[in-house]
Amino acid sequence: MGIPKSKTIVALAMVIAIAVLSAGCNGGEVKARTFENGGGGESEERKVEAIPVEVAALEEGRIEATLRFSATLEAERDVQVYAEATRRVIKLLVEEGDTVRKGQLLVSLQDEEQRASLAKTTSQLDQRNRELDWQKSLFEQDLVSKQVFIDAEYQADQARLAFEEAQRQLAYTEVRAAISGVITERSVNLGDFVTVNQPLFRIVDFNSIVARIYVPEQELPRLERRQPARLTADALGGLVFSGAIDRISPVVDPGTGTIKVTVATPRQQDLRPGMYVQVELVTAVHEQAIRIPKKALVYDNDQVFVFRLGEERTVERLPIIPALEDTEYLEPTDGLALGDEIVVAGQSGLKDGAKVRLPGDPEPEDEDDGENDE
């Protein structure tokens, strides 16, 4: 015999009433519960815990936009000195590492033959010049023909050419510096027999050191002559040296899409040709920029965000559009103000509106311990 339908309805109403009274006894607080095994298990409360983070207030400061490249230093004035005569070395006057001036004597070669030739041609030139003067005087008096005077001029010219050649050959026995600089290589020894076009020295002007870099063509509008640059040499412990753009090539390399830019640096101690350096071109400077530390940035695909601390220890997720950036900081175009506090640690797991806890905030109370105390 079944239970009457009216009694079933009464029983269900009593269960609902008991549940409502139970909620009232808890002071009106409604807590979310989860049920396991289709509602037959014990319920558990879901709690929202504050996430520990660190924040920093935004400050103003200098920020630079730079382009970075690698290059090998080279000297624009770097010359080889060659022998111009075939002779034996009788004097060696400089050594590697010596600083020389343009025109300074470096090596003397045997010159007895050249000196004798010069003396002979000097005497011949004097004689031909005297003969020319005599023939000129006679020609002006119509005592000799014009042809005789022309022949005397020709003989004097030939003597002068022989004299100049003898002077030149004697000069070749003295090897002199083609530029001012430092002797970086010596390829000759005292007593060596040198031949024409044999390399003897290499001279480098350390005041002409440059770094040649190749900049993508789209960066051309950001470049100009005398634009400041910085050079860093890892071999020197990361020391930074000053420089500036000296020349910008007027053409684009069609194979690479780059422009050759020559960065010059004044002579500075320890910088040497052949040294590997990092080159930074400073393309823009903002002296009073609002600076976001890059450690505060959160990347989501192609977008950049930061979390700003709001009221009641909640955070707001803000998109950032960079206006300028360097290795450590980023300047936003808008959306943030001086003094805003942004999350700089612990932001990887945050969401917009999340509750956070800062260092020094009181530890959250253990709810289970509170219930046991009651």
Same domain, 99 and 176: yes
Give the pLDDT of residue 33.
Answer: 40
Same domain, 111 and 196: yes
pTM for this prediction: 0.64
Indicate whether 36 belongs to any domain: no
Distance CA 293, CA 306 (A): 10
User: Among 175, 204, 233, where does a domain finish?
Assistant: 204
In the predicted model, is pLDDT for residue 344 greater than 60? yes
pLDDT band at residue 47, thresholds of 50, 70 and 90?
low
The pLDDT of 327-341, averaged and rounded, is 89
Same domain, 219 and 275: yes
In the predicted model, is pLDDT for residue 24 greater than 50? no
Lowest average pLDDT, out of 18-27, 154-163, 358-367, goes to: 18-27
Q: How many domains does the chain have?
A: 3
Residue 6: other Cβ atoms inside 10 A? 8
User: Among 285, 317, 341, where does a domain finish?
Assistant: 285
User: Helix, strand or coil for residue 124?
Assistant: helix
Lowest average pLDDT, out of 86-95, 136-145, 365-374, goes to: 365-374
Render pLDDT for 260-269 as a digit per residue (tens, 0 to 9). Answer: 999 999 888 7
Same domain, 246 and 100: no
Render pLDDT for 93-126 as a digit per residue (tens, 0 to 9). Answer: 999 999 999 999 999 999 999 999 999 999 999 9
Same domain, 179 and 97: yes
In the predicted model, is pLDDT for residue 128 greater than 90? yes
How buried is residue 243: exposed, middle or buried, by Cβ count under 10 Å (0-12/13-18/19+)? buried
The pLDDT of 251-258, averaged and rounded, is 94
In degrees, to the nearest 5, what angle opens at C-alpha 282 toward C-alphas 262 and 287? 155
Lowest average pLDDT, out of 36-45, 151-160, 260-269, 299-308, goes to: 36-45
Strand 181-186 to strand 99-100: parallel, antiparallel, or no bridges (unpaired)? antiparallel
Same domain, 132 and 185: yes
Indicate whether 42 belongs to any domain: no
User: Among 263, 285, 307, where does a domain finish?
Assistant: 285
The pLDDT of 236-263, averaged and rounded, is 93
In the predicted model, is pLDDT for residue 41 greater than 80? no
Same domain, 99 and 192: yes
Q: What domain range is 263 assigned to?
A: 66-76+205-285
> Please, what is the average pLDDT of the chain?
85
Indicate whether 102 belongs to any domain: yes
Render pLDDT for 280-292 as a digit per residue (tens, 0 to 9). Answer: 998 888 998 999 9
Give the pLDDT of residue 7.
Answer: 47
CB 53 within 8 A of CB 350: yes
Same domain, 70 and 210: yes
pLDDT band at residue 131, thresholds of 50, 70 and 90?
very high
Same domain, 277 and 209: yes
**Sequence-ordered alpha helix ranges (H) in 105-195:** 112-140, 146-171
Indicate whether 38 belongs to any domain: no
Same domain, 281 and 293: no
Same domain, 272 and 185: no
Same domain, 124 and 94: yes
Q: What is the CATH number of the domain that holds 145?
A: 2.40.50.100
The pLDDT of 49-73, averaged and rounded, is 90
Q: What is the CATH number of the domain that holds 264?
A: 2.40.30.170
Indicate whether 291 belongs to any domain: yes
Distance CA 66, CA 325 (A): 8
Indicate whether 198 belongs to any domain: yes
The residue ranking higher by pLDDT, 93 or 36, is 93
Q: What is the CATH number of the domain that holds 56?
A: 2.40.420.20
